């Protein structure tokens, strides 16, 4: 199981030097991958009806794909994954173009993690339909894969039309796409179309049932389970070496391939502090 870290989006600040130091620091510690979260708009709590959600307008999120382009330039081995990019609120062809560029600039150190999201305010602001996002997500994934490999594409789908056109430059290998979420329709879509699953839950029986469901759908579709990945997360906040180790062992027993430690929301610190937290986690979970 590979150990990674979660980009501390709301605490890292806006200084390029700090973001660079963090990325180079975790790479030097030996983590294999970096997760980056995605939200574009934050709601103002002072709005009709109020607002109660995990984040609002005061929470910082660095835009994933442009940030990863920067991080690709200052690292050599670190792999990147969007966790998760809310795909249906974006234009499919533009995401395909941007993702291709990240893959090229990182020399294929990029996995595209996608989800359908929950915040209708973002969809409204981006002029996309919140209510058919699951169906569109499936078509988006199929279309992006064709755009990454086709010299000239003619595509007619339910939501997209490409009339003999293509992207250039294109990545020299297709970009892995991992799905986040746990709804039954999502798990089926993930198993049939995805290269991996991003659980948004702990190492518990619910996760085990989701994995069993994914295996079932993969088998029904005639797809290998051996090539399928699972990207889980751990929290530094409230943890101890014993709890981190036990948590990692539980994920490992369920077949998790990647596990990343989130060090934010655990008390005020700086770049050095975040790196030290990652180091503590590595010391606890590396046997």
CA atoms of 284 and 287, how far apart (whole Å): 8
Structure confidence at residue 286 (pLDDT): 83
How much is the mean pLDDT over the chain? 96
CB 232 within 8 A of CB 6: no
pLDDT of amino acid 50? 87
Q: What is the pLDDT of residue 67?
A: 98
State the CB neighbour count (10 A cutoff) for residue 267: 11
pLDDT for res 49: 87
CATH number at residue 212: 3.20.20.30
Q: Which domain holds residue 207?
A: 2-285
Q: What's the rounded mean pLDDT across residues 44-56?
A: 90
State pLDDT tens for residues 143-157. 999 999 999 999 999
- Which percentage of the chain shows pLDDT scores above 90? 97
What the block records as the tokens of 151 is: 């010299």
pLDDT per residue as tens digits for the range 233-263: 999 999 999 999 999 999 999 999 999 999 9
pLDDT, position 197: 98
Domains held by the chain: number: 1
Q: How far apart are CA 211 and CA 230, in angstroms?
A: 9
Residue 284: predicted pLDDT: 96
Tell me: pLDDT of 33 over 90: yes
- Nearest by Cα to 114 from 100, 127, 99, 125: 99
- Closest of 180, 55, 66 to residue 122, by C-alpha: 55
pLDDT 10s digits, 162-219: 999 999 999 999 999 999 999 999 999 999 999 999 999 999 999 999 999 999 999 9
What is the tens place of the pLDDT at every residue in 109-151? 999 999 999 999 999 999 999 999 999 999 999 999 999 999 9
- DSSP string covering the chain, please? -EEEEE--TTTS-S-HHHHHHHHHHHHHHT--EEEE---S----SSSTT---SS--TTS----HHHHHHHHHHH-SS-EEEES-EEGGGS-HHHHHHHHHHHHHHTTS-EEEEEE--S-HHHHHHTT--STTHHHHHHHHHHHHHHHHH-SSEEEE-SS-EEEEE--SS--SSPPPEEEE---HHHHHHHHHH-SEEE--S-SSHHHHHHHHHHHHHHHHTT--STT-EEEEEEESTT--HHHHHHHHHHHHHTT--EEEEE-SSSSS--HHHHHHHHHHHHHHH--
Q: How far apart are CA 78 and CA 30, in angstroms?
A: 9
pLDDT at res. 287: 58
With 80 as the cut, is the pLDDT of residue 52 above it? yes
What distance in Å separates the CA atoms of residue 170 and residue 100, rounded to the nearest whole number? 6
Rounded Cα distance between 180 and 187, Å, is 9
pTM of this structure: 0.96
């Amino acid at each position: 199981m590979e150990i990674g870290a979660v980009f501390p989006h709301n605490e890292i600040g806006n200084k390029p030097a700090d973001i660079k130091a963090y990325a180079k620091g975790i790479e030097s510690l030996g983590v294999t991958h970096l997760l980056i979260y995605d939200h574009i708009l934050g709601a103002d709590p002072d709005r009709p009806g109020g607002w109660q959600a995990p984040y609002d307008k005061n929470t910082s999120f660095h835009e994933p794909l442009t940030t990863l382009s920067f991080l690709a330039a200052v690292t050599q081995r670190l792999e990147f994954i969007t966790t998760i990019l809310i795909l249906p609120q974006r234009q499919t062809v533009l995401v395909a173009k941007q993702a291709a560029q990240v893959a090229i600039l990182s020399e294929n150190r990029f996995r595209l993690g996608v989800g359908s999201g929950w915040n209708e305010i973002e969809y409204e602001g981006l002029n996309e339909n919140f209510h058919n996002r699951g169906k569109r997500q499936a078509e988006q994934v199929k279309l992006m894969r064709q755009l990454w490999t086709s010299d000239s594409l003619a595509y007619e789908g339910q939501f997209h039309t490409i009339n003999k056109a293509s992207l250039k430059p294109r990545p020299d290998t297709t970009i892995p796409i991992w799905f986040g979420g746990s709804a039954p329709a999502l798990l089926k879509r993930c198993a049939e179309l995805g290269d991996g699953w991003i659980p948004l839950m702990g190492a518990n029986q619910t996760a085990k049932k989701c994995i069993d469901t994914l295996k079932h759908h993969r088998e029904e579709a005639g797809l290998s389970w051996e090539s399928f990945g699972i990207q889980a997360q751990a929290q530094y906040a409230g943890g101890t070496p014993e709890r981190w180790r036990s948590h990692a062992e539980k994920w490992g027993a369920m077949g998790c391939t990647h596990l990343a430690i989130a060090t934010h929301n655990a008390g005020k610190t700086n770049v050095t502090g975040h790196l030290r937290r990652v180091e503590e986690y590595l010391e606890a979970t590396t046997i």
